[in-house]
Amino acid sequence: MSSLTGRITKNAKDLFKFLKETYMAWDRNDPFAQSAIIAYYTLFSLPSLLMIVTSIASAFIGAEAVQGRIHDEIARFISPEVAKSIEEMISNVTLQNDNWVTLIISIAALIYGATGVFFQMKKTMNTIWNVTEKKQNFKRMLINRAIAFGMVLVLGFMLLVAFVVTVLLNILTEYLSNFAPQVTVIFADILRFLVSFLFIAALFAAMFKILPDVKMGYKTTILGASITAILFLIGEQLLGIYFSSSNPASVYGGAASIVLVLLWVNYTCLILFFGAEITVQYAIVKKHRIVPSSHAKLAHTEEMEALREKEKQLEADKKKALELATNPEEEDTNATP
């Protein structure tokens, strides 16, 4: 019995130490400022992002079905008012096709706007994983935008899959309700929770795998994404209670929808970054080998190079100061016009 108690105490201490290290690392990266930045970019990226995502899914299941799905999800996560405002945003984003030059410019602007939020999120993920790019030039910027656009396509594909799974789930529950209505309700709730969990975990796994410039194993990725998904679902319930009870955007009148979007994205990013830090700390504890990509390097390498350059500069300044101190007359002569 004492041995079991000792193991439980040791595991509790290890867990507390792990969470403490995770929180300290999360706090050092200034997550509130990073979340605010991404919330700002999300506000401007949202119309373009949603238009591209809905266009991808609409090619298979129709525009009305996709927009209805997005409306329902946003209404569930945030509020019906925000869902209605975002639905109007999607309908207001159009491509001008008077001529091919205008069309190309419109498409480029649409893609640039849609990738903004993932482009910024990639930078934050690199900070969390303590890596930095070797070269930051126009070519690398285009590649990063392409990676961010890949996340947009992944989001569109996952929306399509989620819609199909939901339709199949509704058909199954309607069929089972003919035999056991009460049991079917519980069964449907459990299935919907599992579908939501798998969808969110898959999205986070894609973000952890695609966005940061590191080579990460699938085991670490899946575990980190699963923990982050659980934290997200818990946070979703808490945010729902907070929004419904305190109504934080009520004082903003017509801008209430914008405020709610900013608040929801801000809080969601805080959860996402904490989940990413858990993934990093887990990799450290388990000694998983995670290395930078070919075009990136560890951030401390760049810091060490800067320190070495600083040391060289200090040595040069010290040498010059000694020369001036031992040759004051020569310095005065050189200084005379």
pLDDT tens for residues 78-103?
777 777 777 777 666 555 555 566 65
Contacts by 112-115, CB closer than 8 A, 24 or more apart: 112/48, 112/145, 113/44, 113/45, 113/47, 113/48, 113/49, 114/45, 114/48, 114/49, 114/51, 114/52, 114/149, 114/152, 115/45, 115/145, 115/148, 115/149, 115/151, 115/152
pLDDT tens for residues 5-62?
778 888 888 888 888 888 898 988 888 888 888 888 887 777 777 777 777 777 777 6
Tell how far CA 184 is from the center of its chain: 35
Whole-number Cα distances in Å, 310 to 150, 307, 313, 314, 316: 40, 5, 5, 6, 10
Domain boundaries, the chain: 21-294, 297-337
Locate tokens 């990799």: which residue? 283
Report phi then psi at 215, rounded to 5.
Answer: -100, 110
CB 306 within 8 A of CB 255: no
DSSP-based three-state secondary structure for 291 = strand
Cβ partners under 8 Å of residue 298, min gap 6: 130, 131, 132, 292
> Residue 40 burial by CB count (10 A; 0-12/13-18/19+): exposed, middle or buried?
middle
Whole-number Cα distances in Å, 7 to 4, 163, 287: 5, 45, 22
CB 191 within 8 A of CB 98: no
Residue 194 has what pLDDT? 85
> Residue 171 burial by CB count (10 A; 0-12/13-18/19+): exposed, middle or buried?
exposed
The identity of residue 44, as a single letter, is: F
Per-residue model confidence as pLDDT tens for the chain (337 residues): 567 777 888 888 888 888 888 889 898 888 888 888 888 888 777 777 777 777 777 777 766 777 777 777 777 767 777 777 777 776 665 555 555 666 566 677 777 777 778 888 888 888 888 888 777 777 778 888 888 877 777 777 776 676 677 777 777 777 777 776 777 777 777 887 888 888 888 888 888 888 888 888 888 888 889 999 998 888 878 877 777 777 666 666 666 777 787 888 888 888 889 988 988 888 888 887 778 887 777 766 555 566 667 777 887 777 777 777 776 555 454 544 4
Tell how far CA 66 is from the center of its chain: 23
